[in-house]
């Protein structure tokens, strides 16, 4: 990824919000964590599973490994680079061993894990290094099962659509212009003068231009509508707020939009095509059994289902 530290922060912020149940619908992202198709897939994968240790790689909130628990598996390990994600998983699965680590440097002994699983996580790592690590820790006859983002699939197209909408917000300049308007109106109302009025009029003119640019997205709903409507309500009720609180809200919105864009970009950058998937699977299970198939979500080819079984 272009900036691993920023990506880690973006996803850490995401999982912290999810764990705290603070993530609003407008920032929910592409809905890929749970679905009937994914539930069926994992239920099938874990059907008849024994007591072998199961590692959920880049576990997120544990969307995959919870199905292992439901199937009766008891040796469960959730690993993620985000401490917030690991905590979210442990909250839903108290018996799980949580590990904060990178997927390309697994803190597990050689041949110690029977099944490595991942749902939209493996592909975010240094993939060749992660594949080598998975191969190292799998027991003879062990399995790797994963659902990963597919290049040019339905999820990728959704991500591009979200990024296009975020780009409209950014290019409109609505947030910085709104901050200028609030600063100008508070200054004018505190100490009216011809100069202060001039600053306010200029800021309001800039806001009108920004709103015209943003309005198609506002009418479409989502983030732009949440931002615009929230700023409008704050303006109408500004006498009940401190200026610093209003500017703080706008700054937080800018931060959340930036993190949201980072997550969408991360999904796009992580997407794998079948040719790369085949190379990675061969690294995980040399001379073993491998498969790579399109996986449908909502009737559309959205992801890849990967499987590798090492030689017994």
Instruction: List pLDDT tens digits, range 124-147.
Output: 999 999 999 999 999 999 999 999
Give the model's pLDDT for residue 48: 76
Instruction: List pLDDT tens digits, range 42-79.
Output: 999 999 777 789 999 999 989 999 999 999 998 999 99
146 within a domain of the structure (yes/no): yes
89 with 114, same domain? Answer: yes
Give the model's pLDDT for residue 15: 40
8 within a domain of the structure (yes/no): no
Give the structural domain span for 252. 157-265
To the nearest 10°, report the CA torsion of 30, 254, 268, 16: -60
170 with 143, same domain? Answer: no
What is the number of structural domains in the chain? 2
13 within a domain of the structure (yes/no): no
Give the model's pLDDT for residue 34: 62
Is the model's pTM score more than 0.85? no
- Low-confidence residues of the chain: pLDDT under 70: 1-34
11 within a domain of the structure (yes/no): no
149 with 275, same domain? Answer: yes
163 with 255, same domain? Answer: yes
Give the model's pLDDT for residue 51: 76
Give the model's pLDDT for residue 138: 97
Whether residue 76 contacts residue 96, with contact meaning beta carbons closer than 8 Å, is answered with yes
14 within a domain of the structure (yes/no): no
149 with 161, same domain? Answer: no
220 with 280, same domain? Answer: no
58 with 140, same domain? Answer: yes
35 with 133, same domain? Answer: yes
Give the model's pLDDT for residue 5: 53
Give the model's pLDDT for residue 35: 84
Give the model's pLDDT for residue 125: 95
Give the model's pLDDT for residue 310: 96
143 with 275, same domain? Answer: yes
Whether residue 222 contacts residue 165, with contact meaning beta carbons closer than 8 Å, is answered with yes
Alpha-carbon distances of 108 from 57, 95, 153, 174, rounded to whole Å = 12, 18, 33, 49
Give the model's pLDDT for residue 18: 38
Q: Please say which residue of 265, 282, 301 terminates a domain.
A: 265
43 with 191, same domain? Answer: no
Provide the CATH number for the domain around residue 39. Answer: 3.40.50.150
192 within a domain of the structure (yes/no): yes
41 with 136, same domain? Answer: yes
Give the model's pLDDT for residue 289: 97
169 with 138, same domain? Answer: no
19 within a domain of the structure (yes/no): no
- Exposed e or buried b for every residue in 68-94, given b needs 16+ CB within 10 A? bbebebebbbbbbbbebbbbbbbeebe
CA 108 from centroid of its chain's CA atoms: 26
226 within a domain of the structure (yes/no): yes
């Amino acid at each position: 990824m272009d900036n691993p530290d920023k990506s880690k922060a973006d996803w850490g912020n995401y999982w912290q919000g999810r764990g705290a149940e603070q993530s609003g619908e407008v920032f929910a992202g592409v809905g890929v964590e749970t679905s009937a198709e994914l539930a069926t897939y994992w239920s099938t994968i874990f059907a008849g599973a024994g007591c072998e240790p199961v590692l959920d790689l880049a576990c997120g909130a544990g969307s995959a490994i919870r199905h292992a628990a439901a199937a009766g598996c008891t040796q469960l390990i959730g690993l993620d680079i985000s401490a917030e994600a690991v905590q979210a998983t442990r909250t839903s699965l108290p018996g799980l061993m949580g590990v904060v680590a990178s997927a390309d440097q697994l803190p597990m002994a050689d041949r110690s894990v029977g099944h490595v699983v991942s749902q939209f996580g493996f592909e975010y790592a240094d993939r060749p290094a992660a594949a080598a690590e998975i191969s190292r820790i799998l027991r003879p006859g062990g399995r790797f099962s994963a659902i990963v983002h597919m290049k040019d699939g339905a999820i990728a197209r959704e991500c591009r659509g979200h990024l296009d909408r975020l780009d409209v917000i950014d290019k409109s300049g609505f947030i910085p212009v709104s901050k200028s308007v609030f600063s100008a109106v508070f200054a004018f109302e505190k100490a009216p003068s011809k100069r202060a009025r001039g600053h306010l009029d200029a800021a309001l003119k800039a806001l009108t231009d920004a709103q015209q640019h943003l309005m198609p997205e506002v009418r479409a709903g989502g983030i732009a509508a949440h931002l615009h409507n929230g700023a409008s309500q704050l303006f109408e009720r500004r006498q009940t707020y401190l200026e610093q609180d209003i500017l703080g809200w706008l700054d937080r919105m800018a931060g959340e939009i930036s993190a949201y864009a980072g997550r969408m970009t991360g999904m796009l950058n992580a997407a794998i095509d079948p040719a790369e998937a085949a190379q990675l699977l061969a690294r995980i299970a040399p001379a073993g059994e491998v498969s790579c198939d399109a996986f449908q979500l909502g009737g559309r080819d959205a992801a890849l289902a990967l499987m590798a079984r090492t030689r017994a």
